[in-house]
A and B are shown apart, each in its own frame.
Chain A
Amino acid sequence: MTTTGGLDAPAWGGFDPARAERDRSGRWPAFLTSVRLGWQVEANWTDPFLFFIYSVAKPLSATLILVVMIDIISGGGAGPYRAFVVVGTALWSIVLSGLSGLAWTILDDRERYRMLKYVYVSPSDFLMHLVGRSIARLAVGVMGAIITIIIGVLLLGVPISLEKVDVPLLLADIVGGLWVILAIGTVLGAVSLQTRQESWQYPEAMAGALFLISGAVFPLSVLPAPMQAVGLAGPLTWWIEGFRHAVFPGGPSGVGGPGSVWEGVTGTAAPDPAIIVGALLATGALVTLAAIGVFRVSERRAKERGLLDQTTGS
């Protein structure tokens, strides 16, 4: 008989498989805690008034840049285009904040607070935690967008008529759009897991590039045909188109229009609501699957190379 000096497994086996499994019942409370933590990180650094100014200044300024550009050239005579631009720019503030959410959470937790490795080894789902943290930034973007649209209606001549709004389309579009933004933000989070701390500006750079091909501030028909095709494959294009279609039924289309690839392929001037929602769902599903795949690959590589607790500088 061999002896193990008292190190034998206890009578009950010494290993409880249940403890090694993720406790799914704790997933939602953990997610809500992450959301709350994210909100506090985003919002409790100043008083509510300054926070409000901070939240509105960026989207409003971005809108005013384009409004001034339009007015310089058109002499104030491009009313429908101005409404097109105000709504597109307001929505883009959600993209900007949503895309930076996951990436900045990773950089913050890894480089500044140095908590990322502890969060990673905690029982919470890592991706769920990151998404929860980034919800707060997304909410700040949504708030900025709403206030920009209100200012657009009150001061910039945006003709939104509440009784004409297509509410079902608007709701479906908003849910789909926010989902897609979080998915693209997840891709940038995956990138941030691999890069140095200088990548703070990467989400803004990515948003700037997507700005070109999403029909946010000009119709896609202005672009060369291959770029229009790339834009049509992107869910943000359909999200913005859906929002415009819901609030300005029959207004200018960012996807269709004379000379557009859309018109050339389908023979119609602009897509109808069913097509918009279908395209948003289809492209959004593809982006979501890609985002989860890219994030898992990045997560594995970060673990292999010890990147979860790296600190960098320049």
Chain B
Amino acid sequence: MSVVETGRPTTPQEDADWSTSQVVLTNLRAIGGRAYPRITGLMREKSWVFFEILLPLLATSAFVFVYRALQAPAQYIGFVVIGGAMVAFWLNVIWMMASQLWWEKSQGNLELYFAAPMSIMSVLFGMAVGGMVMSSSRAVVVLAVASVVYDVQFAVDQWALLLAVFFLTLAALYGLGMMLASLFVMWGREAFHLTQLLTEPIYFVSGLNFPVARLGILGSLALGTIPLAVGLDAMRQLAFATAAFPVGTPEPAVEALILVAMTIAFLGASRLMLATMERLARKEGRLSVRWQ
């Protein structure tokens, strides 16, 4: 029998009463620990470079050639390039954030997360940090290579606002991912199918390859609900300040405020939904799958 000598006898209640620094440090470790496999995974799976960086570059090129076939103004090619870069984050959010807890449930990890002494929000935040690093590599390559190959001429007047909009878009996107992850805890295979449904239909209503103002009311609805739509529109306005834009969308500063509101709303909702879904999942026995 092994006994750990601690100097003074303690009760389980005293051991469970953590100081603030213990709580904070444990949650920070959880964030780092959950981000770690995604960042190191970049180096471990060599095929990822080919399939997740080089091939998407070709897919983006296809839309560039559609505009070339139509002899479109040069800035439209820039729109496609920015859309091609940002779609990396969207795909990461739906595949590796939204459906991740459902996936962890299938693999038998979810109950371990809930049993571990840290907030599940830290796990989600760690996934988001790792996912952002992972997706940034693809986004940077698509943006840099496509800009050079297709001679995209950016005209930026407000760099600070452009960077702010970019980071706010990421915050809102990953906040949405955390919210969907909470929702998907309760779901079965429909979560996987819904994930697939969040690709082309979202690309369309978000105006991935064209100014979203052209969609009228549908575009306005997207600007109010989908971070990808509002982020893309603001970044395009800021990156091509001299381009003639279809009217109908707010100024970039207003869109930045929309992104702030979305971030707060999504993070708050994800916290609330996670607690609710965890309670429901415990009650209905859905934290694990039967065969594990």
Contacts and interface: CB of A to CB of B under 8 A. Distances in A.
Main secondary structure of the interface of A (DSSP, over half): helix
A179 interface: no
A68 B65 contact: no
Interface of B: 37-38, 41, 44-45, 47-48, 51-52, 54-56, 58-59, 61-63, 65-72, 76, 91, 95-96, 103-104, 106-107, 109, 130, 188-190, 193, 196-197, 199-201, 203-204, 208-211, 214-215, 246
A223 B209 contact: no
Given A72-B214, A201-B95, A58 B196 contact: yes
Contact of A217 (B66, B109, B199, B215): B66
A65 B59 contact: no
A219 B69 CA distance: 8
A181 B58 CA distance: 19
A69 B210 contact: yes
A64 B103 CA distance: 31
Given A196-B44, A211-B58, 20 more contacts: A41-B189, A65-B203, A65-B210, A68-B214, A69-B63, A69-B70, A71-B214, A73-B70, A73-B72, A111-B106, A195-B45, A201-B52, A201-B91, A208-B55, A209-B54, A211-B59, A218-B66, A219-B69, A313-B37, A313-B103
B59 A111 contact: no
B68 A222 contact: yes
Contacts of A194: 47
Contacts of A74: 70
A269 B247 CA distance: 42
A212 B41 contact: no
Nearest to B76: A73
Contacts of A72: 72, 76, 210-211, 214, 246
A78 B72 CA distance: 13
B291 to A, nearest CB: 8
Interface in A300-314: 311, 313-314
A58 B200 contact: yes
Contact of A112 (B63, B106, B109, B197): B106
B109 A313 contact: yes
Nearest to A58: B200
Contacts of A57: 197, 200-201
Q: Which of the listed residues A69, A78, A194 has the most CB atoms from chain B within 10 Å of its own CB?
A: A69
Contacts of A283: none
Interface string A3-36: 0000000000000000000000000000000000
A45 B52 contact: no
Contacts of A268: none
A186 B52 CA distance: 19
Interface string A146-168: 00000000000000000000000
Interface in A178-207: 191, 194-196, 198-202, 204-206
A252 B12 CA distance: 78
A52 interface: no
B201 A201 contact: no
A41 B211 CA distance: 38
B70 A78 contact: yes
B204 A223 contact: no
Contacts of B47: 191, 194-195, 199, 202
